Amino acid sequence: MDTMRKQKEEFIFRSKLPDIDIPKDLPLHSYVFENFSKYPSKPCLINGANGDIYTYADVELTARRVASGLNKVGIHQGDVIMLILPSSPEFVLAFLGASHRGAITTAANPFSTPAELAKQARASKSKLLITQACYYDKVKDYAQENDVKVVCVDSAPDECLHFSELTQADENDMPRAEFSPDDVVALPYSSGTTGLPKGVMLTHKGLITSVAQQVDGDNPNLYFHSGDVILCVLPMFHIYALNSIMLCGLRAGAAILIMPKFEVGYLLGLIEKYKVSIAPVVPPVMLAIARSPDLDKHDLSSLRMLKSGGSPLGKELEDSVRAKFPQARLGQLFYAARYFKGIYFPQAVLSAHVSPAQS
């Protein structure tokens, strides 16, 4: 009997840091904007392509208008919208607007083939596609055959709605949605280790838990601060940028500098111009930065944290980055849409561990 009792014992390993409070009754959009009234006029999104700046008040209000606009074009609670966009302010506004409406967002790489986009749209039962005019031909046939509306964020063809029809809607016309923490809010597609892409249902509670691990609590080695400017050169249709940059940045009250595409010289200039303090990237981008002949032409002293994910950094590259950015802490992430993320900082303590079932 004693042996059986011992086998059933649970061993819980706790961090030396204080527990992190995980809100249990907030939808995702309310959680990330919970503190925005403290800094409504602070920059929230910076469009690196044209210099446009959206304040926290701008983003919070426009997200509610987008929710009202989604309702007007027939999107109801539990419906799926599909974003076929590069990283952009419109991606953020559409995602948050869908969350307000009680809808679900799935996102796809704009460089996917028409067949790949159609397969994801069909599998996710997407009711609305939001894209750029240059990608409309990829989804035109699917949209017409399945009576699915298409919204373009730029010059919309005659067959499409324009994104302004969502952003200029009256936020007071949106019906109130009732939320459960277990409602799905995001549906990223992941192939896992092998096989074809599959939709991964991420709930309000799951994403809040994941974000809280990263930006709430008392770990100075890991967390973002409201004074940070966070670089977003990674695609928001991938869980790395969606979760660890977009959602975490919003929760922390940081400014998010969005680059729709990568070009190393332009990236270095933006880091200097906007005094970027956190740069989450992937190894190829880290390599391009470390080897850039223009590196010494820019003042990059604002960087306090470099994070690399997607695949491991080799020791030689890691040593090179440390030598060139002595003031910055370097961390490596692992990330999977179907689980949670981990981050390794040498000589630092990981703040919290949440099991896949919890997150």
Domains of the chain are 56-199 (3.40.50.980), 204-344 (3.40.50.980)
Kindly indicate the confidence band of residue 352, based on its pLDDT and cuts at 50, 70 and 90: very low
Reported as a single tens digit per residue, the pLDDT across 222-278 is 678 999 999 999 999 999 999 999 999 999 999 999 999 999 999 999 999 999 999
Kindly indicate the confidence band of residue 349, based on its pLDDT and cuts at 50, 70 and 90: very low
Choice between 195 and 327, residue whose per-residue pLDDT is larger? 327
Reported as a single tens digit per residue, the pLDDT across 111-135 is 999 999 999 999 999 999 999 999 9
Averaged pLDDT, 20-39: 94
pLDDT at residue 328 greater than cutoff 60: yes
pLDDT at residue 326 greater than cutoff 80: yes
Averaged pLDDT, 339-346: 44
Kindly indicate the confidence band of residue 19, based on its pLDDT and cuts at 50, 70 and 90: confident
> 3-state SS of 274-338?
HCCCEEEECHHHHHHHHHCCCHHHCCCCCCCEEEECCCCCCHHHHHHHHHHCCCCEEEEEECCCC
Contacts of 62 (CB under 8 A, 6+ apart): 54, 93, 97, 167
User: Quick one: which of 55, 75, 56, 57 has its CA closest to 66?
Assistant: 75
Residue whose entry in the numeric block shows the structure tokens 């324009």: 162
Picking from 172-186, 191-205, 223-237, which range would have the lowest pLDDT averaged per residue?
Answer: 191-205
User: Quick one: which of 17, 12, 11 has its CA closest to 348?
Assistant: 17
User: Residue 350's pLDDT is what?
Assistant: 31
User: Residue 344's pLDDT is what?
Assistant: 42
User: Quick one: which of 98, 63, 52 has its CA closest to 79?
Assistant: 98
Reported as a single tens digit per residue, the pLDDT across 92-101 is 999 999 999 9
pLDDT at residue 355 greater than cutoff 60: no
Kindly indicate the confidence band of residue 190, based on its pLDDT and cuts at 50, 70 and 90: confident
Question: What is d(CA 219, CA 75) in angstroms, rounded to the nearest whole number?
Answer: 40
Could you give the maximum distance between any two Cα atoms of the chain, in Å?
75
pLDDT at residue 358 greater than cutoff 60: no
Averaged pLDDT, 339-350: 39
Question: What is d(CA 164, CA 50) in angstroms, rounded to the nearest whole number?
Answer: 18
Kindly indicate the confidence band of residue 346, based on its pLDDT and cuts at 50, 70 and 90: very low
| Cβ–Cβ < 8 Å for 242, 234 | no
Picking from 8-12, 118-122, 176-180, which range would have the lowest pLDDT averaged per residue?
Answer: 8-12
Contacts of 156 (CB under 8 A, 6+ apart): 133, 162, 163
Query: What is the pTM assigned to this prediction?
Result: 0.89
Kindly indicate the confidence band of residue 340, based on its pLDDT and cuts at 50, 70 and 90: very low
User: Residue 44's pLDDT is what?
Assistant: 98
Please count the residues of the chain.
359
pLDDT at residue 347 greater than cutoff 50: no
Reported as a single tens digit per residue, the pLDDT across 267-320 is 999 999 999 999 999 999 999 999 999 999 999 999 999 999 888 888 899 999
Question: What is d(CA 103, CA 180) in angstroms, rounded to the nearest whole number?
Answer: 12
